[in-house]
């Protein structure tokens, strides 16, 4: 897939171009070229070990691609460390949630956003600004906690929340980060069905606000319900793509993945 | 002149290598940084002193008993300090801290019982021999010979016996072995016993040469650790390579610069290796673990 | 009376050391045995500036803090690359190297001969020769450091450190520049230890390298591990335990020749027992599991 010069200009479409990555002799990601425009919810599906999480790790900056490039807002991302990529607006929800268990829910959410007080120099010389920003951040954090339905759990240690609540907390944290692109790795796994409905609504709202959502999912019902577009990965390669109904109706997909 | 320093370096290297083999054996298999090994060294030396100078046993018996004591003490530390950590599957910080605590307790117990001053174990002037331009004392030759003997036996053990196979398997793939449950605990005891023997032999050799004080163990252990890292973690024999290298470098520093800066140079080498070549000279570079 | 003041001054000095090491252990989860090196660099820098250049104590102190913080880069950088045991060995190496420099660079530090006659600082024109006024002075400094620690602990910086100690990857994914923050933690930790060093130097008016050995690093480490890390009360209870203990031994009529060894045996045992039954120490928040 040729990416035109136009696409590389300052655009809010996340573009992966010819991404490849091997571990030892194993090709985990094989020449993947995809685009994620704003407002679109894209599903990444495929069997286990197909390279979906690896792709996320490459986008987030935890792994360097062997070949290929990632374009975001006119810049190549692969040269940056993970924190810089996160600050550029790419947020990540991990498969194993990864909230900070020993601090409270609101402290978790506060960590979503960078605060000048995180640099000791500012604590000393810029304390008024730090305190003012802190007050703003607390308000925003409370809003996001309320948005995900965790308002009363504000001062609860994250380890005392249920798995599903921890996931919601992680999402609130991502929202606090104001990410333009959200990489959600199995967002509905381990969540009880009543909560899933709310989660789906949340994801739709996030996309409606003009953000890009990319999610890895094994539950095909969810994919059918919220994805605008789907990429099917197998053995590191994009084997099929298109609207969910089309991809899931695809013969090869049904064979390798759904076992039908 | 340089030959004398090289010779001294080889002799020193023999002792560093013995301790390096001992600490390396434990680290490669159990992954425990056995800081308390320093007090095992001291225990062996003071045991020798006690049996030889206080109870007036024969030299042979005193040495044998001293090595036995070092061996048993090492095993006791495994049973009471490290085994519980292994069974609880703790992070590596906990056995390390417990090891430091054990070192403090044992070293000070010995200082309590025997006093803080250096104890001399032999009396009289050592016989010395001349080889060309190099002069070596009798004990120095014995040190090197003992090292050669022990190292050869160790190599045979590692490559030719079932025990050796188990040790190497333990180092490479502990999970596979642990599926046999109890066997691993017994294997650990044997490993610590063998490691104790190395310390016992080294401590007797040093005590018979220059005497012993309660704090000598840490000095030697530190160099043994550098030898291990420089030689290469993961390969059982590599500490010998590191030990001799450090022994020679230390003596070159004494010759060319000054004895005062031995430690500084030794540990600068350690830091350089940790940063630039953590696998040591003989080690293989491990692949970075992926997320 | 002077005796009790002495005990409390030592509690202040070691309290500052413990609070500073707490930053590395309770937040970074790093076992470091080079804190005596920072303590020593601070003591020597302040002393040498005061004695050789007639510098005012407070100015010398600031330079000492800045120098020690800068020197901490030599061990902060390895901490980014080395895990657990390997970092421990690097901190061991750093400690030995700094001690070797303090001991052997006789032209600069007077080596084993030490530096006698260190003057007490002048505060508002008063020389703090009286034990009581010096005790107050130490108290004020300790209180300030305690406040700084409290602010740091509750600040966004403290929060990020707590996050990093739990899950570096998640912190990075949230946009936290983890290496930079770790380097800051080292710099602040080393700088505060340097303050303790300066206080110690003017208190005992004589310093030599034997106060800044590996054993001293192990002692400071033990304070934080026994008392507990990750909060403010842990290190402080650790200091009380470790300083008051030997004094209790004195009451029990244990002879002075033997007391240091007995004291060390007790805290060695405390380490072993705590690691077995209470990893977070007496009052700590952070455990190593």
Percent helix / strand / coil, chain C, rounded to 5: 75, 0, 20
Neighbours of chain A (3+ CB pairs under 8 A): B, C
Q: What is the pLDDT of residue C82?
A: 87
Query: Which residue on chain C is closest to A159 by alpha carbon?
Result: C166
ipTM: 0.91
Q: Does B287 touch chain A (CB under 8 A)?
A: yes
Rounded distance between C-alpha atoms, residue A82 and residue C209, angstroms: 43
Q: Greater confidence, A231 or B185?
A: A231
- B267 to C97: CB separation less than 8 angstroms, yes or no: yes
Pairing of strands A26-36, A14-23: antiparallel
Q: What is the pLDDT of residue A260?
A: 57
Structural tokens at position C89: 């060995």
As to burial, measured by CB atoms within 10 angstroms (0-12 exposed, 13-18 middle, 19+ buried), residue B6 is: middle
* Mean predicted confidence (pLDDT) in B86-95: 88
Question: A223-253: b or e for each residue (b if 16 or more CB lie within 10 Å)?
Answer: beebbebbbbbbbbbbbbeeebeebbebeeb
Q: Where are the domains of chain C?
A: 2-213
Interface test with A, best of B285, B287, B288, B291 (most A CBs within 10 A): B291
Structural tokens at position A86: 């996160």
For residue C289, give the nearest of B90, B101, B260 by CB distance. B90
Instruction: Give contacts of B77 with chain C, Cβ < 8 Å.
Output: none
Minimal CA separation from A174 to chain C, in Å: 8
Q: Does C86 touch chain B (CB under 8 A)?
A: yes
Pairing of strands A212-216, A41-45: parallel
For residue B108, give the nearest of C29, C261, C288 by CB distance. C261
Pick the closest to residue C27 from C283, C224, C258 (CA basis): C224
- C268 to B102: CB separation less than 8 angstroms, yes or no: yes
Q: What is the pLDDT of residue C133?
A: 86
In chain A, what are the domains? 5-99+180-258 (3.40.50.300), 101-160 (no CATH)
pLDDT at A205 over 80: yes
* Mean predicted confidence (pLDDT) in A54-68: 93
Q: What is the pLDDT of residue A1?
A: 45
Q: What is the pLDDT of residue C35?
A: 97
Q: What is the pLDDT of residue B181?
A: 60
pLDDT band, very low/low/confident/very high, at B248 (cuts 50, 70, 90): very high
Structural tokens at position A128: 């008024």
Minimal CA separation from C285 to chain A, in Å: 9
Q: Greater confidence, A249 or C102?
A: C102
Tell me the fold of B2-276.
ABC transporter involved in vitamin B12 uptake, BtuC (1.10.3470)
Which of the residue ranges B102-106, B285-289, C118-122 would you say has the lowest mean pLDDT? Answer: B285-289
Rounded to two decimals, the pTM is 0.90
Q: Where are the domains of chain B?
A: 2-276
Instruction: Give contacts of B102 with chain C, Cβ < 8 Å.
Output: 268, 272
Pick the closest to residue A238 from A10, A31, A3, A4 (CA basis): A31
Q: Render pLDDT for C52-65 as a digit per residue (tens, 0 to 9).
A: 998 889 999 999 99
pLDDT at A91 over 50: yes
pLDDT at C193 over 60: yes
Q: What is the pLDDT of residue C172?
A: 94
Number of H helices, E strands in chain C: 14, 2
Q: What is the pLDDT of residue C279?
A: 87
Minimal CA separation from A244 to chain C, in Å: 29
* Mean predicted confidence (pLDDT) in B115-120: 88
- C156 to A134: CB separation less than 8 angstroms, yes or no: yes
Q: What is the pLDDT of residue B288?
A: 44
Q: What is the pLDDT of residue A20?
A: 93
Q: In sequence order, what are the residues at sequence separation of 6 or more whose Cβ sits closer than 8 angstroms to the Cβ of residue A70? A: A14, A15, A16, A17, A19, A58, A59, A76, A77, A78
Minimal CA separation from C34 to chain B, in Å: 13
Minimal CA separation from A93 to chain C, in Å: 9
pLDDT band, very low/low/confident/very high, at B286 (cuts 50, 70, 90): low
Rounded distance between C-alpha atoms, residue B269 and residue B229, angstroms: 10
């Amino acid at each position: 897939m040729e990416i035109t010069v136009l696409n590389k200009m300052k655009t809010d479409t996340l573009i992966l171009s010819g991404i490849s990555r091997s571990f030892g002799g194993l090709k985990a990601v094989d020449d993947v070229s995809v685009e994620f425009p704003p407002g679109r919810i894209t599903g990444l599906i495929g069997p286990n070990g197909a390279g979906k999480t690896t792709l996320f790790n490459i986008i987030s900056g935890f792994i360097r691609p062997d070949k290929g490039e990632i374009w975001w807002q006119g810049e190549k991302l692969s040269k940056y460390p993970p924190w810089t990529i996160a600050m550029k607006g790419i947020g990540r929800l991990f498969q194993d949630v990864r909230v900070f268990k020993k601090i409270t829910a609101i402290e978790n959410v506060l960590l979503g956003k960078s605060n000048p007080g995180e640099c000791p120099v500012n604590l000393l010389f810029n304390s008024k600004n730090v305190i003012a920003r802190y007050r703003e951040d607390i308000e925003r954090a409370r809003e996001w906690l309320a948005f995900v339905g965790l308002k009363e759990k504000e001062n609860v240690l994250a380890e005392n929340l249920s798995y599903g609540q921890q996931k919601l907390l992680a999402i609130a944290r991502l929202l606090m980060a104001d990410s333009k692109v959200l990489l959600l790795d199995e967002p509905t796994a381990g969540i009880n069905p009543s909560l899933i409905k709310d989660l789906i609504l949340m994801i739709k709202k996030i996309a409606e606000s003009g953000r890009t959502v990319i999610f890895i999912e094994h539950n095909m019902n969810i994919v059918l319900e919220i994805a605008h577009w789907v990429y099917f990965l197998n053995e590191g390669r994009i084997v099929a793509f298109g609207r969910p109904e089309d991809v899931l109706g695809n013969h090869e997909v049904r064979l390798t993945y759904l076992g039908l | 002149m340089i030959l004398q320093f090289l010779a001294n370096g080889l002799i020193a290297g023999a002792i560093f290598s013995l301790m390096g083999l001992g600490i390396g054996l434990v680290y490669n298999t159990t992954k425990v940084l056995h800081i308390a090994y320093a007090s095992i060294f001291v225990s062996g030396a003071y045991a020798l002193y006690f049996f030889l100078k206080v109870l007036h046993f024969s030299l042979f018996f005193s040495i044998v008993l001293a090595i036995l004591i070092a061996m048993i003490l090492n095993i006791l530390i495994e049973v009471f300090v490290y085994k519980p950590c292994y069974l609880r599957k703790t992070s590596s910080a906990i056995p390390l801290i417990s090891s430091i605590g054990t070192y403090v307790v044992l070293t000070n117990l010995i200082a309590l019982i025997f006093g803080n001053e250096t104890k001399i174990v032999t009396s009289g002037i050592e016989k010395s021999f001349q080889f060309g331009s190099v002069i070596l004392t009798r004990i120095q030759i014995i040190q090197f010979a003992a090292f050669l003997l022990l190292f050869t036996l160790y190599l045979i053990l590692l490559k030719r016996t079932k025990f050796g196979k188990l040790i190497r398997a333990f180092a490479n793939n502990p999970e596979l072995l642990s599926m046999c449950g109890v066997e691993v605990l017994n294997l650990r005891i044997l490993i610590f016993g063998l490691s104790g023997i190395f310390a016992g032999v080294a401590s007797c050799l040093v005590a018979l040469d220059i005497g012993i004080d309660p704090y000598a163990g840490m000095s030697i252990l530190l160099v043994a650790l550098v030898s291990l890292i420089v030689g290469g973690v993961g390969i059982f024999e590599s500490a010998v390579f590191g030990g001799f290298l450090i022994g020679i470098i230390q003596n070159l520093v004494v010759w060319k610069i000054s004895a005062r800066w031995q430690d500084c140079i030794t540990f600068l080498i350690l830091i350089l290796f940790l940063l630039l070549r953590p696998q040591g000279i003989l080690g293989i570079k491990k692949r970075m673990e992926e997320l | 009376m002077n005796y009790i003041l002495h005990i409390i001054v030592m509690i202040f000095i070691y309290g500052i050391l413990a609070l500073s090491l707490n930053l590395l252990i309770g937040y970074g989860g790093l076992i470091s045995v080079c804190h005596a090196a920072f303590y020593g660099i601070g003591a020597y820098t302040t002393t040498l500036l005061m004695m050789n250049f007639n510098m005012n104590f407070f100015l010398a102190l600031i330079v000492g803090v800045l120098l020690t913080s800068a020197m901490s880069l030599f061990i902060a950088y390895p901490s980014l690359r080395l895990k657990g045991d390997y970092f421990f060995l690097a901190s061991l190496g750093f400690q030995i190297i700094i001690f070797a420099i303090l001991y052997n660079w006789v032209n600069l530090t007077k080596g084993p001969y030490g530096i006698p006659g260190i003057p007490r600082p002048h505060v508002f024109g008063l020389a703090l020769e009286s034990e009581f006024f010096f005790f107050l002075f130490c108290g004020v400094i300790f209180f300030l450091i305690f406040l700084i620690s409290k602010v740091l602990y509750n600040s966004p910086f403290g929060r990020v450190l707590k996050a990093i100690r739990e899950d570096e990857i998640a912190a990075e994914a949230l946009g936290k520049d983890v290496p930079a923050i770790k380097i800051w933690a080292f710099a602040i930790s080393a700088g505060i230890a340097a303050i303790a060093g300066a206080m110690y130097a003017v208190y005992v008016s004589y310093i030599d390298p034997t106060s800044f050995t590996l054993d001293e690093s192990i002692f400071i480490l033990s304070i934080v591990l026994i008392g507990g890390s990750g909060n403010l009360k842990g290190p402080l209870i650790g200091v009380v335990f470790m300083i008051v203990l030997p004094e209790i031994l004195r009451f029990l009529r244990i002879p002075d020749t033997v007391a240091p060894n007995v004291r060390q045996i007790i805290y060695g045992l405390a380490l072993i027992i705590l690691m077995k039954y209470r990893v977070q120490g007496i009052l700590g928040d952070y455990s190593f599991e």
